[in-house]
Structure 1
């Protein structure tokens, strides 16, 4: 039986990991630490609130004393670190928050883990600090370049990816210098339930439902490897169970898609759902293009963002060979599940988009 501290567990990927873990390992205890900034949402965890093995703590990963107390009081043996600022556009306009959370926050966690697990009277050999990172630390690829491996040199191109690269290096250093038991996973672009609506896939879905433009940066030929979020949780599970201490593992979806093709595929799926279910036109009367099977008319090309990486692609051979990892969802099955989830969970994304959820958070955590 494990006791996990999951940082950023109210965010998109973190919350999906919490759902996955509590379902697969019902005897384990999970403590979630989240600052509930704009992307953290308690509504992501409603389904586990009644689970006696789940505890939520509102707090910041930069609060080292708080993290130390959680590690000690809950006898934490595994720390899974998701908490991060992650939107590239926001990192371009406001990089300070990315430096603070992604670098200083990770450093604070490492210091707390070292103090509790290594510096006490008894060294806790069974601990694990798992750091969740991104493929963006590797930089960009041309159309013909081989995919990123764990040996690819780091070459981050945005404040976001640079801050994640720095945190990766800190985690590595705490293993090699102090002997902290660490693993790191670098994942490709995630998608699925609870994805914050500013990101591409949920933005396209919700904009279609509001009959708004579908903005495409540049020529739309930027390529990403898309990973269904539950497959990411599964990959992390394998790393925690069987990954070698001190190692990095790439977790990918084997699904490279150009942004414009993603938008077109989602548009077709939404149109198909509207054609099959007449109730959708009643629930979303604004979605004229979807009702009329003309969502392609919403596609609008906009000026590309600064430093936009052209292509990411994950080579997960190491993770496949060492841990037996294979994604369970194809892009076709995963995106169908995602579209269905957004159509069936309007209250969730509307509360995020109209700010009502953040107003509730402000009232609860003054």
Structure 2
């Protein structure tokens, strides 16, 4: 039986990669909705825009009237990626993040309990856990929420809203908390694409503060594989951490990219640190491995090479 899947934010980085994965590995029919702001790009959907099992609506999830028109059928699942996700932008304008990330999620949850879908997978982030010290153990699903910037606070608020719908209405919801994704199609404002773009064009590479902030890096196709596992076998009400097991400092990542491209590390330029900058993220993904049999298969070095080679075709002669 062909499954009907509603993907929100499918013109963005992870969403578009997941749609590509879903259409390549299943017979599901995908409805994609995206508000097409700065992070949503038509070129991200080019590979599947004419696929017979795909349709697209330009819809803002925080606009209830717009959202209503996509529920012309009952979906087997909603996979909810749509979010404002740029930390720097959240510091400049928190209100936009609250509207999309909390109000938009609320409207989707209301549609769910009205019977418009059979379940919802909500894509959150490890940033809701806050920051780890150097010697702390990685975050587990039981770690308390301790968001430190408006973006992560808006996601934590949506996390709690999702939980409340499960507890109050028995809504069939599952929450995913993933570490930093990287790979093709990521917006140029994000760390790895920005470093590649600047390096390819021999421009200064900005690194916040001392550059020793640590992130756990997850290649996007590994994330997509994990989501497929959760979509098919995840338990309602559960939270699953998805991590790459690749903790690296920002400075180390920048140097690896420059080294691969044959560029001098003198291009690195330390800039004023971000306000409220979390020092370290680390994810314990033992639960999803034990219960659903998933583990990451793309090493950081392999994923970084694949990412750089893809972006090299995007960033040429100062253009993107």
Q: Report the TM-score range of the alignment, normalised by the length of the smaller protein.
A: over 0.9
CA contact (8 A) 1:64 1:109 kept: no
Q: Structure 1 residue 67: deviation in Å?
A: 3.0
* C-alpha distance in 1 between matches for 2:58 and 2:319: 23
The answer on 1:97 being equivalent to 2:96 is yes
TM-superposition CA deviations, 1:298-357 (whole Å, max 9, x none): 10111111110000000001011001111110001000000010112348x945xxxxxx
**Residue of structure 1 aligned with 2:233, choices 236, 242, 254:** 242
Q: Which residue of 2 aligns with 1:75?
A: 74
Q: Structure 1 residue 175: deviation in Å?
A: 1.1
Q: Structure 1 residue 65: deviation in Å?
A: 3.7
Q: Which residue of 1 aligns with 2:278?
A: 309
Q: Which residue of 1 aligns with 2:162?
A: 171
The answer on 1:58 being equivalent to 2:35 is no
TM-superposition CA deviations, 1:201-239 (whole Å, max 9, x none): 000000012221111111110000000011111111111
The answer on 1:254 being equivalent to 2:245 is yes
TM-superposition CA deviations, 1:163-201 (whole Å, max 9, x none): 000001111111111111000100000000001011110
Q: Structure 1 residue 68: deviation in Å?
A: 3.6
- Comparing 189-198 with 73-82, greater Cα deviation is found at 73-82
* C-alpha distance in 2 between matches for 1:254 and 1:87: 23
Q: Give 1:1-366 correspondences, 5 Å limit.
A: 1-25=2-26, 27-71=27-71, 73-117=72-116, 127-271=118-262, 290=263, 294=264, 296-346=265-315, 350-351=319-320
Runs of 4+ residues over 4 Å off in structure 1: none
Relative to structure 1, the CA distance from residue 68 to residue 113 in structure 2 (aligned partners, 3 Å threshold; closer, same or farther) is farther
CA contact (8 A) 1:84 1:102 kept: yes
* C-alpha distance in 2 between matches for 1:160 and 1:57: 25
Aligned-partner SS, 2:46: helix
* C-alpha distance in 1 between matches for 2:285 and 2:87: 24
TM-superposition CA deviations, 1:91-147 (whole Å, max 9, x none): 111111101100111111111222234xxxxxx7xx111100000000000010000
TM-score, with length taken from structure 2: 0.97
* C-alpha distance in 2 between matches for 1:162 and 1:66: 26
TM-score, with length taken from structure 1: 0.85
* C-alpha distance in 2 between matches for 1:303 and 1:138: 24
* C-alpha distance in 1 between matches for 2:86 and 2:101: 12
CA contact (8 A) 2:122 2:173 kept: yes
CA contact (8 A) 2:112 2:119 kept: no
CA contact (8 A) 1:70 1:76 kept: no
Q: Which residue of 2 aligns with 1:359?
A: none
Q: Structure 1 residue 241: deviation in Å?
A: 1.0
Q: Structure 1 residue 244: deviation in Å?
A: 1.0
Relative to structure 1, the CA distance from residue 63 to residue 112 in structure 2 (aligned partners, 3 Å threshold; closer, same or farther) is farther
* C-alpha distance in 2 between matches for 1:350 and 1:32: 28
Structure 1: segments with no counterpart, 5+ residues: 118-123, 272-289, 352-366
* C-alpha distance in 1 between matches for 2:145 and 2:119: 24
In proportion to residue count, which structure has more helix?
1
* C-alpha distance in 1 between matches for 2:274 and 2:195: 18
* C-alpha distance in 2 between matches for 1:345 and 1:219: 29
Aligned-partner SS, 1:227: strand
Q: Max radius of gyration: which structure?
A: 1
Aligned residues: 318
Relative to structure 1, the CA distance from residue 79 to residue 262 in structure 2 (aligned partners, 3 Å threshold; closer, same or farther) is same
